[in-house]
Amino acid sequence: MTVSNSTPKILDALVIGAGFTGLYALYRLRERGLKVLTVESGTGIGGTWYWNRYPGARTDSSSTVYQYWFSDELLQEWNWSERFPAQKETERYLNFVADKFALRKDIQFNTRVTRADYDESSARWLVTTQNGERFSAQFLVMGTGGLTKFVMPNIPGVEDFAGESHHTARWPKEPVDFAGKRVGIIGTGATGIQVIQTIADKVDHLTVFQRTPNYTIPMRNLKLDDAARAELRASYPTLKTRVHNTFAGFEYDFGERGFFDTPPAERRRLMEELWQDGSLSFWIAGFREVFSDERANREFSDFVREKIGARINDAAIAAKLLPTDYGFGTRRVPLETNYFEVYNRDNVTLVDTVSEPIVKINAHSVTTAAREVPLDMMIYATGFDAGTGALTAIDIRGRGGVLLKDAWSDGVRTFMGLQVSGYPNMFMVMAPMSPSAAFCNVPTCVQQQVDWITDTVEFVRGQARGAIEPTAEAETKWVAHHNEVAEATLVPKTKSWYMGTNIDGKKQSLLVYAGGANVYRQLCDDVKKRGYEEFTLT
Ligand code: NA7
């Protein structure tokens, strides 16, 4: 139904997305007395945890830090069942939050925003949905997520496959039956690894098409009983402050001691200890230099290769699974459970698509440079247009009618990943150039950004003029600082979605602010304390 001529619904704030960000933004802005509506394209709560319901999906952050801190009652009432909860549990948690705080009445599902126009005369956003519905809001909050716009591989014939076919980010709600099926999967990132280790023993045969092998860490998942939960709950008051004071928003952080000040035997002992923890602490609680120094990085890379190699029976397969041309931690490090043992099974074949490229996908098979692989099902774990994808998918027109995707055609520019100059009162979370874009335990950084946005909205409402935006100079300065911090790390040397290399034609730059979530939080607080010097009010 097209209702585009209808009178727009008048709001103080429109929030787009009902995931971790959108729910919290709705809660916070409503608490401050704003008339808020959240719109969501899905039919349920959860964002990432609504869409990504593929087999094996679970968090790589522990449940004790993958949650909201704003309500002590919530912290007492919700019982996590595992250290690393699965998708269903996280989705249930977010639904529980929505119900407990009566958020649902202000969420409209099945509503995809297609455009947003800033009207300079009224200083309001006019937002249009796919159904032609319109909203007029003073503030626009993009809770659209960093990993939302999924991508299919650029392989000839991808539309021709006649069997069952699923992208992991659009996995069906109904159970998928793998029994007796020849399944092919493209993609061995964090998602592909979770799928592969979960379905290998359920399929007739699994063919894994791998382009880049990954460094991974074995997950030490634990079931939590009442006693374990009570112990963890006792740590919440400390944790809730702690997470905002660490590099990546986790409970753990880099040690004080430098890599080169620590004797090799001591370094090895620490690596073993962190490895045993079975979490991302091996990545972001070892040595800071692993991100910036080739030698430190090589030592960690060698350690992981040694650990992985020991688990694979066939030397030729091991050679394909061991990364050699980039350093540990310069791409997202997935946690895994018995992943490498999968390749010791008779019903699993690994195809290295660099030495044996996929030529085309056919109705019932995949043709590579060396063979034809007959398949009943295709799984695409091929990732996302990270950071910018969900934002540029909407026609966002700021001051002077300039499209955001045009404003970014020469490269992304944001002020601290929170706002873009020329787009007054539009706030972003998990956007490029902030830690939440990738180097952060998502709920920590999302809550920090939403809290900052809420305070800023309140600040603007207390002013005679109704719109705020960063100056172009402040934005230029942030971009320069962002790039300088990025260049001091090894991350830009490696191809990854962090750098945008997974998307054809995407301008390459580091998506995420690499200065640390703790440093970033402080910088955001300083902006507020100095009275928003970097912004103009109109
Ligand atoms: P990722 O990490 O972007 O992984 C996508 C995978 O798909 C990766 O292995 C890609 O290889 C592979 N890919 C993509 N296109 C192709 C083609 N054409 N041929 C072969 N292989 C291809 O996405 P995920 O969903 O796993 O993870 C995203 C984030 O979600 C993750 O980091 C967590 O934070 C949660 P490549 O590595 O590009 O060579």
148 lines ligand 1 (CB under 6 A): no
Question: How far, rounded to the nearest angstrom, does the alpha carbon of residue 474 sit from its chain's CA centroid?
Answer: 26
What pLDDT was estimated at residue 5? Answer: 62
**Calpha distance 193→210 (Å, rounded):** 10
pLDDT in tens, 90-146: 999 999 999 999 999 999 999 999 999 999 999 999 999 999 999 999 999 999 999
323 Cα to the center of ligand 1, angstroms = 15
Domain-located, residue 237: yes
pLDDT in tens, 269-304: 999 999 999 999 999 999 999 999 999 999 999 999
State yes or no: pLDDT of 1 exceeds 70: no
User: Within a 13 Å sphere around the CA of 322, how many CA atoms are in the beta-carbon half?
Assistant: 19
Clarify whether residues 55 and 126 are in a common domain.
Answer: yes
Q: 496 and 331 in contact (C-beta within 8 Å)?
A: yes
pLDDT in tens, 433-467: 999 999 999 999 999 999 999 999 999 999 988 99
Amino acid letter, residue 329: G
255 phi and psi angles, rounded to 5 deg: -75, 165
**Calpha distance 369→155 (Å, rounded):** 13
Expressed as residue numbers, the domain containing 510 is: 9-149+385-537
pLDDT in tens, 216-265: 999 999 999 999 999 999 999 999 999 999 999 999 999 999 999 999 99
Domain-located, residue 4: no
Clarify whether residues 108 and 165 are in a common domain.
Answer: no
Clarify whether residues 231 and 139 are in a common domain.
Answer: no
From 382, 439, 498, 503, the mutation candidate for ligand 1 (largest count of ligand atoms within 8 A of CB) is 382
212 lines ligand 1 (CB under 6 A): yes
502 lines ligand 1 (CB under 6 A): yes
Clarify whether residues 398 and 533 are in a common domain.
Answer: yes
What pLDDT was estimated at residue 462? Answer: 95
387 lines ligand 1 (CB under 6 A): no
pLDDT band at 6 (very low <50, low <70, confident <90, very high): confident
Clarify whether residues 49 and 159 are in a common domain.
Answer: no
What pLDDT was estimated at residue 4? Answer: 56
Domain-located, residue 71: yes
Q: Locate the ligand 1 atom nearest the alpha carbon of residue 150 and give its number.
A: 25
Q: Locate the ligand 1 atom nearest the alpha carbon of residue 212 and give its number.
A: 39
Global confidence as pTM? 0.97
**Calpha distance 173→244 (Å, rounded):** 35
pLDDT in tens, 483-494: 999 999 999 999
188 lines ligand 1 (CB under 6 A): yes
What percent of the chain lies above the pLDDT cut of 70? Answer: 99
Clarify whether residues 407 and 533 are in a common domain.
Answer: yes
191 lines ligand 1 (CB under 6 A): yes
- Taking the CA atoms of 473, 477, 478 and 480 in sequence, report the sign of the dihedral they define: positive
Q: Locate the ligand 1 atom nearest the alpha carbon of residue 501 and give its number.
A: 38
496 Cα to the center of ligand 1, angstroms = 8
Q: Higher confidence at residue 81 or residue 465? A: 81
Among 390, 493, 490, CA closest to 437: 390
Domain-located, residue 1: no
Clarify whether residues 366 and 403 are in a common domain.
Answer: no
158 Cα to the center of ligand 1, angstroms = 16
Which CATH number goes with the domain that contains 169? Answer: 3.50.50.60
Domain-located, residue 268: yes
Clarify whether residues 88 and 139 are in a common domain.
Answer: yes
pLDDT in tens, 161-187: 999 999 999 999 999 999 999 999 999
pLDDT band at 2 (very low <50, low <70, confident <90, very high): very low
Clarify whether residues 528 and 461 are in a common domain.
Answer: yes
Clarify whether residues 371 and 358 are in a common domain.
Answer: yes
153 lines ligand 1 (CB under 6 A): yes
Number of domains, the chain: 3
Domain-located, residue 221: yes
**Calpha distance 170→49 (Å, rounded):** 11
491 Cα to the center of ligand 1, angstroms = 16
Domain-located, residue 21: yes
What percent of the chain lies above the pLDDT cut of 90? Answer: 99
380 lines ligand 1 (CB under 6 A): no
What pLDDT was estimated at residue 152? Answer: 98
**Calpha distance 180→202 (Å, rounded):** 8
Clarify whether residues 17 and 39 are in a common domain.
Answer: yes
- The residue-averaged pLDDT of 40-51 equals 98
What pLDDT was estimated at residue 423? Answer: 98
187 Cα to the center of ligand 1, angstroms = 5
**Calpha distance 461→146 (Å, rounded):** 28
- Taking the CA atoms of 256, 261, 265 and 268 in sequence, report the sign of the dihedral they define: positive
Clarify whether residues 182 and 248 are in a common domain.
Answer: no
Residue 44: exposure state from Cβ atoms within 10 A (0-12, 13-18, ≥19) = middle
- pLDDT mean across residues, the chain: 97
Contacting residues for 508 by C-beta, under 8 A, at least 6 apart:
492, 499, 500, 501
Instruction: Please say which residue of 305, 333, 361 terminates a domain.
Output: 333
Domain-located, residue 3: no
